């Protein structure tokens, strides 16, 4: 970086994959936009209705926007993502922060720029479950699907070399970055809006599921467990209305407003989180409301749930294991103030402070990783972990 560049405030560009819904990745981009208020925001596709509305006036979309119904058919345009992400001209910026879960880290940058990739996960369909993705398409299309995934996997691996520093949202993601990209990363947990998700009201008689209806979320386990135990369950989230079926115990609310979701969180006995998550922000948003969770003991839940204090963990992704966890939950006393304090350690304020510090260290060409313990391949400090490639 030229000395003259560092005498002024660095110009920052935030680059995101598609923002056609409001989920954890989109909330991270919103927070980054607050942390760096002068930053320009670039994204493959943006939906001002379903996507994050707070950044509407700052977003520049790629040429994919020219396709009819592009935001609705975003997944079908996946083979075009590499060309689209490379089309952004970012030469005027000093720092690039990509928010990556698909292919956003593939932006082009010059030798004087610093590129930090906040990685939610290496793309699951390329690295974690490619065979399952192929099996989901009709037989005659499977050879084409294999070719597309192989091409994208090669491009994605090469694109990792365009990143100066990787930041992982969890230990799980850091391990994947090390395995798939052969790069080390610093763990910075995503931001929880503890000013919006706050305690209030009295706990009701129902359990809550708040999730998109996709297979790996395993909403079916929560439904079957509630019906087996005769417990009231409310299911909210995008496309969950397709799950509607006659039940004396389960209610399907579909997509609800943020204020309605917070009201439901405050009133629920617990959030049921039966899926494997890379991190799982909803768990901590529930904790910020002072309410406990019942979560599958794998992935991000092991980093966010303190068993017996902020929630209950269950070992197997089965109805029987979840039923046993609900029964143990009902025999356990929880302190809402302890749960709330736990969530506050993941606040937006702390995320912002850490990200500003990381960017400053990267700009001055220092290491954002600190001292690495080669005996274990990691170092823990200030809730941040470094994973070092072995071999």
What would the DSSP string read from start to end of 64-115?
Answer: GGGSTTTTTTGGGGGGGHHHHHHT---TT-SEEEEEESSSGGG----TT-EE
User: What string of H, E and C letters represents the secondary structure of 298-316?
Assistant: CECHHHHCCECCCEEEECC
Q: Of all residues in the chain, what percent carry a pLDDT higher than 90? A: 75
Residue-wise pLDDT tens digits, 336-377: 999 999 999 999 999 999 999 999 999 886 555 654 333 223
Q: Of all residues in the chain, what percent carry a pLDDT higher than 70? A: 90
In the structure encoding, which two tokens stand for residue 158, read together?
Answer: 């090469």
Tokens 């966890």 belong to which residue? 325
Mean pLDDT, residues 274-287 taken together: 93
pTM, entire model: 0.86
The confidence score (pLDDT) of residue 376 equals: 29
Tokens 């089965």 belong to which residue? 318
Say which residue, 279 or 202, is predicted with more confidence.
279
Mean pLDDT, residues 11-36 taken together: 94
> Residue 266: is its pLDDT beyond 80?
yes
Range from 75-89, 91-105, 228-242, 298-312 carrying the lowest mean pLDDT:
228-242
Say which residue, 243 or 330, is predicted with more confidence.
330
Residue-wise pLDDT tens digits, 92-106: 999 999 999 999 999
Q: Are 52 and 26 in contact (CB under 8 A)?
A: yes
The confidence score (pLDDT) of residue 204 equals: 86
The confidence score (pLDDT) of residue 241 equals: 59
> Residue 219: is its pLDDT beyond 70?
yes
Residue-wise pLDDT tens digits, 27-56: 999 999 999 999 999 999 999 888 888 898
Mean pLDDT over the full length of the chain? 89
In the structure encoding, which two tokens stand for residue 150, read together?
Answer: 């192989």
> Residue 386: is its pLDDT beyond 70?
no
User: What confidence tier does 240 reach under pLDDT thresholds 50, 70, 90?
Assistant: low
What domains sit in the chain, N to C, each tagged with a CATH number?
A: 3-191+348-387 (3.40.50.2000), 206-344 (3.40.50.2000)
CA nearest neighbour of 330 among 265, 388, 269, 239: 269
């Amino acid at each position: 970086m030229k000395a003259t560049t560092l005498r002024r405030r660095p110009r920052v560009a935030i680059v995101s994959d598609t923002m056609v819904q409001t989920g954890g990745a989109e909330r991270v981009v919103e927070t980054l936009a607050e942390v760096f208020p002068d930053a320009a925001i670039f994204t493959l596709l943006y939906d001002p209705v379903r996507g994050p509305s707070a950044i509407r006036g700052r977003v520049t979309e790629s040429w994919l926007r020219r396709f009819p119904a592009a935001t609705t058919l975003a997944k079908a345009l996946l083979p075009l993502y590499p060309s689209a992400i490379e089309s952004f001209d970012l030469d005027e910026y000093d720092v690039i922060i990509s928010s990556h879960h698909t292919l956003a880290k593939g932006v082009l940058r010059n030798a004087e720029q610093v590129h930090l990739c906040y990685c939610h996960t290496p793309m699951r369909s390329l690295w974690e479950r490619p065979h399952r993705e192929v099996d989901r398409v009709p037989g005659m299309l499977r050879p084409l699907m294999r070719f597309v995934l192989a091409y994208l996997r090669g491009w994605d691996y090469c694109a990792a070399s365009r990143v100066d520093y990787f930041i992982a949202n969890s230990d799980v993601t850091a391990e994947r970055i090390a395995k798939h990209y052969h790069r080390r990363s610093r763990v910075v947990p995503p931001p929880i809006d503890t000013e919006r998700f706050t305690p209030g009201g009295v706990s009701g008689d129902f359990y809550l599921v708040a999730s998109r209806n996709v297979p790996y979320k395993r909403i079916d386990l929560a439904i079957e467990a509630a019906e087996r135990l005769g417990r009231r369950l409310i299911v909210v989230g995008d496309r969950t209305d397709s799950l509607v079926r006659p039940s004396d115990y389960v209610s399907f609310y579909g997509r609800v407003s943020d204020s309605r979701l917070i009201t439901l969180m405050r009133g629920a006995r617990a959030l049921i989180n039966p899926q494997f998550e890379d991190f799982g922000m909803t768990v901590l948003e529930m904790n910020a409301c002072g309410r406990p969770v019942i979560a599958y003991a794998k992935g991000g839940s092991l980093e966010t749930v303190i068993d017996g204090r902020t929630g209950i963990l269950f070992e197997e992704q089965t109805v029987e294991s979840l039923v046993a966890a609900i029964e143990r939950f009902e025999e356990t006393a929880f302190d809402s103030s302890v749960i709330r304090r736990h969530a506050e350690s993941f606040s937006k304020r702390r995320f912002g402070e850490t990200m500003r510090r990381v960017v400053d260290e990267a700009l001055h060409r220092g290491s954002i990783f600190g001292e690495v313990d080669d005996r274990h391949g990691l170092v823990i400090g200030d809730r941040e972990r470094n994973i070092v490639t072995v071999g």
